[in-house]
Structure formats: C-alpha cells, structure tokens
Structure 1
C-alpha cells in the first residue's frame, strides 16, 4: 500500500502541489490522469523519492520514503521517468542489467542473470537483447526500459508516461505487458497516463489530479462518467458504452 498524508510541494505562490491525502491499495494498475500541469508527474516522482516534498509523509509498504535508506528503498519501489537518455552505447541486455544494481552493485551473479533473462522474455525482447538501444524503434526501446524496471524486482513499480511516443499498436502492447506484470507477477503498478480510455480499459483504479490536488479516486466505472471527466478536464466529455467497456469522447 502507498499512503500519502498531507503532502505538499511549493514552487511559487501560484504553483504548488497539495495538500494530498491518498491511499493506493496493493496490486493492479493505478492510473494518474488529469490535464497538463496538474501535478501527476510531480506526485509520482515524490512517491519515488526523486523529488523532495516540503510537508507531509509518504509510506510504501510501511516504509517512510523520506527516511528509508536508498539501498533498501530500491528493493521496494522502482521508478521510470520520461527522460530516458543514456550517453553510453548499451545493448538491451546491458540496460536491463542496470535493474539489478541494488542487489549486485554491478557484479552480476547467476541469479541476477536469470532475472534479467526473465524480464527480457516477459517483454518479448529475447530476439533483441544483443541489439544496441540506438538500433531499436521507439516502441522497442520503451519496452527495454520497462524490462529494466521489472528486473529491479520490486513489488511497487512507478512509470511516468510509459506510452510516451508510442503509436496505437505499441501503446496497446505496452498496457497489456503492464497488466500482465500486475496480475502474473503481483506488482503494484502506478502510471501517469494521458489517454483516459487506456486508463479506463486497463486500469484497476483511476486517480484524477487537477491543480495539484487529487479530485477523484475510484474504479474506472466510478471515474468514467460524463460529469467527472468534464469537471476534471474542463472540456465537454461524453462517456459511451462500447463493446469492451466505457469510452470517453471529447468535443
């Protein structure tokens, strides 16, 4: 379980996050949605301790994020930000191997190699594992980064816009991989996502953020309504019943 209590972050008098009180249960996919600049990525990076908070507490599985030692926290929660730029030339397998650093400190053993292979296979990258990242398509490279996060073998996985720069086909494949990770591997996955329909179809819970505050939290059935989405995104939204669930239509 992830618990945020009285969390605040201020940038200027006009731009701030919080106060945020939020409990994200274990398991499944929780999607953070909302307008641009709402504070979704800021919340995610504070949960992952890549950004400090001014007030409040964040706990993951009972561990205080602010005070837990980095080497211990890295075995509880993993996070992937939008900006994935490695200067050195790496193969897919070398990249995924970075996920084992909290355990191996760079000296991989047989157990590490097994987890690396399993993560590569899970994301369908076995035929690409010896290819360099700059030789891959954007979708393949994104899968490699997610494989690296899964190789960290944490119960909690935080992903900031994992569908960034992916086309429709690769976005669907990525969400299917994440859904499998939650269901088959027992991971608690929290993602920042812009496409509300992907959030509604693949998410188990949706957290709507607006003006730095959590304004709605619930199941897709509870959030995917005309009233809620129109209020959150400040534009007319109609939710229709499609053959495989609810779909939001913007005007």
Structure 2
C-alpha cells in the first residue's frame, strides 16, 4: 500500500498541492485522473521522490520515501516520467537493461540478461531489440521505456502519462500490457491518465485530483457517474453504457 499523510507542496501563493491524505491499495492498476494542472503528475513524482514535498509523509509499503536510501528505494519503486532524455544511440536492449542498474550496477549477469529478455518479449519488442531508439516510432519507443521500468522488478510502478504521443490503437495496446503486467507479475501500477474512458476500462481504482487535492476515489463503477465526472472535469459529462462498461460522453 502507498500512504500519503498531510502531503503538501507549495509552488506559489496560487499553485499548491495538498494537503493530500490518501491510501492506494496494493496490487492492480490505479489511475490518477483530473483536469490539466490538477497536480496529478506532481503527486506521482513526489511519491517517486523525484520531487520533494514541503510537509507530510509518504510511505511505500513499509518504507518512508523521505528517509529510505536511494539504493533501497530503487528496488521498491520505479517511475517513468513524461520527459525522457536518453541518448538516441542506445539500442532497445541497452535501454531496457538500465532497469537492472539497482541490482547490477552496470555489470549485467546471466540472470539480468534473462530478465531483460523477459520484458522485451512481454512488450513485443523482440524484433526491435537491436534497433536504436531514434529508429523507432513514438509508440515503439514508449513500449521500450515501459519495458525498462518493468525490468527494474519493483513491486510499485509509477507511470506519468504513458499514453502520451500514442494514437488510440497504440493506447489500447499499452493499457492492455499494463493491465496484464499488474496481473501476471503482481505489480501495483499507478498511472496518470488524461482520458477517463481508458481509466474506466482498464483501472481497478480511479483517484480524481482537482485543484491539488483529492476529489474522489473509488472503483470505476463508483466514479463513472454523470454528477461526479462533471464536477471533477468542470464540464457537463454524460455516462452511457458501452460494450465494455461505462463511457463518458462530453457535451
């Protein structure tokens, strides 16, 4: 479980996060949703200790994010940011191999190589593993980044808008991979998503953030209601029944 207690971050007098009190259950896929500028990515990066908080406490499992050593934290939690600045003259396999660094310190052994292959295969990158990143499409590159994060083999995986730059078909493919990873590998995956319908279709839990604070949390069935979504996104939304569950229709 990930626990946030009275977490605050102040950027300015007008831009503030918190106080946030939240418990994210272990296992499955949890989606962070909300309007632009709500604080979803900021909250995620604080959980991953890529950004410090001004007040409060964050625990991942039994580990306090503020006081746990980086080498120990890297074996518990992995995070993929929106912006990734890797050298483009890396191959897919080399990139995915970075996920083993907390264990290998750059000296990959046979077990590391087997783990790298496992996640390359899992993300359907086998035929691309020797290609350079600048030879890939946006969707292929995004899959390689996700494979790298999964290769770190942490119980908790944080992904900041992994559907960025993906068309609908590749977004569906990515969400299926993440849903499958949570089930097959027993991971707790937290994803920042812009599209509430992807959250409703694939997430076990939805957390709605608005104005830097927790607005609502629940199952897709609990969150996918006209009044709740209209309030979260500040626009009229009608929820209709679709072939795979409820769908939000914008007016």
After TM superposition, the runs of 4+ consecutive aligned structure 1 residues lying more than 2 A away are none
2:10 paired residue number? 10
1:32 paired residue number? 32
Question: 1:30-75 CA distances to partner (integer Å, 9 max, x unpaired)?
Answer: 0000000000000000000000000000000110000000000000
Match status 1:19 vs 2:19: yes
Question: 1:4-23 CA distances to partner (integer Å, 9 max, x unpaired)?
Answer: 00000001111100000000
2:167 paired residue number? 167
DSSP 3-state at the match of 1:29: strand
2:214 paired residue number? 214
Cα distance between partner residues in 1 of 2:104 and 2:88? 20
TM (norm. structure 1) is 0.99
1:200 paired residue number? 200
Cα distance between partner residues in 2 of 1:87 and 1:174? 23
2:244 paired residue number? 244
1:129 paired residue number? 129
1:190 paired residue number? 190
1:158 paired residue number? 158
DSSP 3-state at the match of 2:163: coil
Map 1:92-131 to 2 at 5 A. Answer: 92-131=92-131
Query: What count of residue pairs does the alignment treat as equivalent?
Result: 251
TM (norm. structure 2) is 0.99
Unaligned runs of 5+ in 2: none
> CA-atom RMSD, angstroms?
0.5
Instruction: Report the CA distance between 1:130 and its aligned residue.
Output: 0.3
Cα distance between partner residues in 2 of 1:229 and 1:65? 32
Instruction: Report the CA distance between 1:224 and its aligned residue.
Output: 0.6
Cα distance between partner residues in 1 of 2:244 and 2:39? 30
Instruction: Report the CA distance between 1:88 and its aligned residue.
Output: 4.9
1:49 paired residue number? 49
Instruction: Report the CA distance between 1:87 and its aligned residue.
Output: 2.9
Unaligned runs of 5+ in 1: none
Cα distance between partner residues in 1 of 2:122 and 2:73? 24
Q: CA separation of 1:111/1:231 partners in 2, compared to 1, >3 Å: closer, same or farther?
A: same
Q: CA separation of 1:99/1:123 partners in 2, compared to 1, >3 Å: closer, same or farther?
A: same
Question: 1:139-179 CA distances to partner (integer Å, 9 max, x unpaired)?
Answer: 00000000000000000000000000000110000000000
DSSP 3-state at the match of 1:118: helix
